[in-house]
């Protein structure tokens, strides 16, 4: 077990290097002049100025030298200041968001975390439950309805489903608006007298004793959560259903039935726990996916998370920002993967021993 974890931990930096190489590799599709114009506010129209900038930041150096400079930064010969260096947290300036990328992430990431936190239970819980219901009613009408419901959800592109939801619940009935907070609540939250403890609006509202703001924030979260859940339920339904059917056919379930255990207990105590193992792996991946920003859902609901920031950056061809955000999400997913694998090894002795 320890050996397995150590091996995974040793591989992690290797993958990280690969990830950064890939990102930098994408950046070097652009010519040096194009890269200058990405980072400089006033794009030089004069060739001499352009060339001197390219020279100054070493944009004509060999790939690996540039990669090294991109990672750890380089000392500017004339001013003696460090320029760049993502390891120093110098991600650069985001043109699409008009602020430093580090600040952008600090401001946007909590919103994404909040959405993820509230989505976990409806997404995974209900999806798994649907799978169990379908498996218990194998091949009868409830099973068929559950599956068709699932496939339909799986076939809905998130942007179509999200806009449909907005059409009904916002344009027609104005119950659940887009964005993160209503205007009045936004004024309260940004104003004095409201302390931000966690940057998660719902929790901050409760800590400040503002129940109205808590409700307002929840109201804005309903539609994104619904969208994320519906399009993902099919996946959980499918996996849980087949894994449940498999474990219902195992000998220990037959034994349990034979010794007269109630059907409810057979399902809940004997079949279900073993059928849950694939769900655990899936959940890890889903949570990581949610944390790394749900680009399209956030964009439709104008929800200010990192996903919508990335979408805005890429439509405006703001390569600096989007590369940094992709690096961040890649890192999150990498760590999440590691955690999932280790949990999985704890749960399933077959993995641990091999």
Which residues contact another protein by CB under 8 A?
Answer: 14-15, 18-19, 21-22, 26-27, 29-30, 34, 138, 147-148, 151-152, 154-160, 163-164, 166-168, 170-172, 178, 238, 242, 245-246, 289, 292-293, 295-296, 299-300, 307, 310-311, 313-315, 317-319, 322-323, 325-326, 329-330, 333-334, 337
Smallest separation (angstroms) from another protein to the CB of 116: 13
Query: Are the C-beta atoms of 202 and 214 separated by less than 8 Å?
Result: yes
Query: Are the C-beta atoms of 265 and 192 separated by less than 8 Å?
Result: no
Smallest separation (angstroms) from another protein to the CB of 315: 4
Q: How far apart are CA 215 and CA 256, in angstroms?
A: 47
* Nearer Cβ to another protein (121/167): 167
Smallest separation (angstroms) from another protein to the CB of 141: 13
What DSSP line would sit under 143-211, residue for residue? HHHHHHHHHHHHHS-HHHHHHHHHIIIIIIS-SS-SSSS-HHHHHHHHSTT---SSS-HHHHHHHTT-H
Smallest separation (angstroms) from another protein to the CB of 160: 4
Structure tokens at 38: 């990405």
Q: How far apart are CA 34 and CA 26, in angstroms?
A: 13
Query: Are the C-beta atoms of 325 and 106 separated by less than 8 Å?
Result: no
Smallest separation (angstroms) from another protein to the CB of 321: 10
Smallest separation (angstroms) from another protein to the CB of 282: 15
Q: How far is CA 46 from CA 30, 42, 43, 52, 179, in A?
A: 19, 11, 9, 10, 43
Query: Are the C-beta atoms of 50 and 44 separated by less than 8 Å?
Result: yes
Q: Where are the beta strands (DSSP E) in 14-172?
A: 74-75, 82-83, 93-94, 99-100
Of 170, 293, 152, 303, which Cα lies nearest the Cα of 231? 152
Smallest separation (angstroms) from another protein to the CB of 162: 10
* Nearer Cβ to another protein (204/318): 318
Q: Is 25 helix (H, G, I), strand (E, B) or coil?
A: helix
* Nearer Cβ to another protein (166/188): 166
Smallest separation (angstroms) from another protein to the CB of 222: 16
Q: Is 73 helix (H, G, I), strand (E, B) or coil?
A: coil
* Nearer Cβ to another protein (202/329): 329
Among left, alpha and beta (phi > 0; psi -120 to 50; other), residue 250 is: beta
From first CA to last CA, the distance across the chain in angstroms is 10
SS3 content of the chain, % helix, strand, coil (to 5): 75, 0, 25
Smallest separation (angstroms) from another protein to the CB of 118: 19
């Amino acid at each position: 077990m320890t050996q397995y974890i150590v091996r995974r931990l040793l591989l992690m930096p290797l993958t990280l290097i690969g990830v950064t190489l890939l990102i930098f590799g994408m950046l070097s599709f652009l010519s040096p002049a194009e890269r200058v114009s990405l980072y400089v506010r006033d794009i030089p129209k004069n060739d001499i100025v352009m060339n001197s900038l390219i020279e100054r930041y070493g944009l004509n150096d060999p790939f690996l030298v540039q990669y090294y400079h991109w990672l750890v930064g380089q000392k500017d010969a004339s001013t003696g200041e460090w320029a760049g260096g993502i390891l120093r947290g110098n991600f650069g300036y985001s043109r699409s968001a008009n602020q430093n990328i580090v600040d952008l992430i600090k401001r946007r990431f909590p919103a994404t975390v909040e959405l993820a936190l509230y989505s976990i239970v409806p997404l995974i819980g209900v999806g798994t439950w649907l799978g169990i219901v379908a498996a218990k009613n194998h091949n009868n009408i409830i099973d068929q309805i559950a599956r068709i419901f699932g496939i339909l959800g799986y076939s809905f592109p998130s942007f179509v489903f999200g806009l449909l939801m907005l059409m009904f619940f916002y344009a027609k009935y104005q119950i659940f608006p887009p964005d993160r907070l209503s205007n009045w609540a936004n004024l309260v939250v940004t104003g004095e007298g409201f302390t931000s403890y966690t940057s998660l609006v719902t929790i901050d509202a409760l800590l400040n004793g503002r129940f109205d703001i808590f409700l307002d924030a929840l109201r804005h979260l309903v539609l994104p959560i619904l969208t994320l859940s519906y399009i993902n339920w099919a996946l959980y339904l499918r996996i849980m259903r087949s894994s449940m059917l498999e474990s219902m056919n195992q000998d220990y379930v037959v034994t349990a039935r034979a010794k007269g255990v109630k059907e409810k207990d057979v399902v809940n105590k004997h079949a279900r726990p073993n059928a849950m193992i694939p769900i655990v792996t899936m959940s890890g991946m889903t949570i990581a996916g949610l944390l790394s920003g749900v680009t399209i859902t956030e964009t439709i609901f104008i929800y200010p998370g990192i996903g919508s920031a990335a979408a805005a950056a890429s439509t405006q061809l703001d390569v600096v920002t989007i590369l940094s955000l992709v690096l961040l999400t890649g890192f999150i997913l990498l760590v999440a993967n590691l955690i999932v694998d280790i949990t999985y090894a704890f749960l399933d002795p077959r993995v641990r021993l091999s």
